[in-house]
Amino acid sequence: MRNNKSGVYGILDKFQRAAWFQLNNWPIRYKLIMHFLLISILPAICLGVLIAWATDNIIEKQVNDHTSQLIGNVNKSLEFYAGNLQNMTYFISFNPQIKRFLSSDVKQPESEVYDMKKFLQGFTTLYTEVAGILVVNAKGEYLSNEMYARSSRSLTEENWYKEAVEEKGIFKLIGHPSNRNVTTHVNYKDEDVVSVVRAILDPETQKVEGVVLIDLKLRVIAETVKDVRLGKSGYLTVIDDQGDSIYTPVHPIVSKLERAWIDEHPSGEFSKDIGGKQVQFIFRKSPFTNWTTVGVFSTKETVMEVREIRLYIICFIFVVCLLGIAASTYLSYTISKPIWQLMSFMRRAEDGNLSIRFKDVRQDEVGMLGRSFNAMLLQITKLIGLVEEEQRKKREAELRSLQAHIKPHFLYNTLDTIQWLSRKSGAHEVTEVVESLSRLFRIGLSKGNEIIPLEEEIAHIESYLKIQKTRYRDKLHYSLDIDPMLEGLYVLKVILQPIVENAIYHGIKERRGPGHIAIQAYLADERIQLEISDNGVGMSTEVLHQLRKSLGTYPQKSGMPSSQQPAPSLILPGDSQEELDTAKGYGIKNVQERIQLTYGASYGVHIDSEPGKGTKVTIYHPVIKRREAGRA
Partner 1 sequence: MKKLLMVYAVLIATFMLFLYVYAFREDTNRTEDAMYGGLHGDIGEKYVMVNFQSGIDYWKSCLKGFEDASASLNVSVEYRGATQYDANEERTVLEQVIAKKPAGIAVSAINPDALVVSINKAVEAGIPVVLFDSGAPKSKAYSFLGTDNYNAGVKAANQMAELMGGSGKAAVITLPGQLNHQERTRGFQDTIRTLYPDIQVIAVEDGKGDQLVSGSVAKRLLGEYPDLTGIFATEANGGVGVGNAVKEAGRLPKVKIIGFDTDKGTLDMVKSGIISATLAQGTWNMGYWSLMQLFHLKHGIVQQVADWQGSGMPLVPTYVDTGITVVTRQNVDSYYAK
**With contact defined as beta carbons under 8 Å apart, do 155 and 182 qualify?**
yes
Complex with partner 1: residue 308 or 610, whichever CB lies closer:
308
CA–CA separation, 159 and 179 (whole Å): 9
Complex with partner 1: residue 54 or 323, whichever CB lies closer:
323
Complex with partner 1: residue 212 or 225, whichever CB lies closer:
225
By the 10 Å C-beta count (0-12 exposed, 13-18 middle, 19+ buried), 54 is classed as: exposed
Q: What does the DSSP assignment read for 56-78? A: HHHHHHHHHHHHHHHHHHHHHHH
Complex with partner 1: residue 31 or 357, whichever CB lies closer:
31
Exposure of 365 in the CB half-sphere (CA atoms within 13 A): 4
- Could you tell me the smallest distance in angstroms from the CB atom of residue 73 to partner 1? 15
Complex with partner 1: residue 54 or 311, whichever CB lies closer:
311
Complex with partner 1: residue 148 or 288, whichever CB lies closer:
148
CA–CA separation, 499 and 55 (whole Å): 107
- Could you tell me the smallest distance in angstroms from the CB atom of residue 215 to partner 1? 12
Amino acid at 160: W
CA–CA separation, 319 and 325 (whole Å): 10
Complex with partner 1: residue 41 or 521, whichever CB lies closer:
41
- Could you tell me the smallest distance in angstroms from the CB atom of residue 332 to partner 1? 11
CA–CA separation, 45 and 473 (whole Å): 112
The SS3 assignment for 20 reads helix
Three-state secondary structure readout of 460-472 = HHHHHHHHHHHHH
By the 10 Å C-beta count (0-12 exposed, 13-18 middle, 19+ buried), 492 is classed as: buried
Strands 147-149 and 142-143: unpaired
Complex with partner 1: residue 321 or 411, whichever CB lies closer:
321
Complex with partner 1: residue 145 or 336, whichever CB lies closer:
145
CA–CA separation, 220 and 177 (whole Å): 16
- Could you tell me the smallest distance in angstroms from the CB atom of residue 357 to partner 1? 28
Spatial CA neighbour of 630 closest among 464, 468, 446, 449: 449
- Could you tell me the smallest distance in angstroms from the CB atom of residue 61 to partner 1? 23
Complex with partner 1: residue 146 or 457, whichever CB lies closer:
146
Strands 515-524 and 476-482: parallel
- Could you tell me the smallest distance in angstroms from the CB atom of residue 181 to partner 1? 13
Complex with partner 1: residue 301 or 455, whichever CB lies closer:
301
Neighbours of 538 (CB within 10 A): 21
CA–CA separation, 168 and 211 (whole Å): 10
Complex with partner 1: residue 179 or 425, whichever CB lies closer:
179
- Could you tell me the smallest distance in angstroms from the CB atom of residue 128 to partner 1? 4
Spatial CA neighbour of 215 closest among 95, 97, 91, 89: 89
Q: What does the DSSP assignment read for 89-146? A: HHHHHH-HHHHHHHH-SSPPPHHHHHHHHHHHHHHHHH-TTEEEEEEEETTS-EE-SS
Neighbours of 250 (CB within 10 A): 6
Instruction: Tell me which H or E stretch contains 547.
Output: helix 541-553
- Could you tell me the smallest distance in angstroms from the CB atom of residue 296 to partner 1? 15
- Could you tell me the smallest distance in angstroms from the CB atom of residue 222 to partner 1? 8
Distances (CA, A) of 280 to 57, 249, 297: 14, 16, 5
Complex with partner 1: residue 222 or 369, whichever CB lies closer:
222
- Could you tell me the smallest distance in angstroms from the CB atom of residue 366 to partner 1? 21
- Could you tell me the smallest distance in angstroms from the CB atom of residue 304 to partner 1? 9
Spatial CA neighbour of 522 closest among 452, 453, 454, 461: 454
Neighbours of 195 (CB within 10 A): 25
- Could you tell me the smallest distance in angstroms from the CB atom of residue 330 to partner 1? 10
Residues in contact with partner 1 by CB under 8 A are 110, 114, 121-122, 124-126, 128, 145-146, 148, 183-188, 217, 219, 222-223, 226-227, 232-233, 250-251, 301, 307, 311, 314-315, 318, 321-322, 325-326, 329
- Could you tell me the smallest distance in angstroms from the CB atom of residue 187 to partner 1? 5
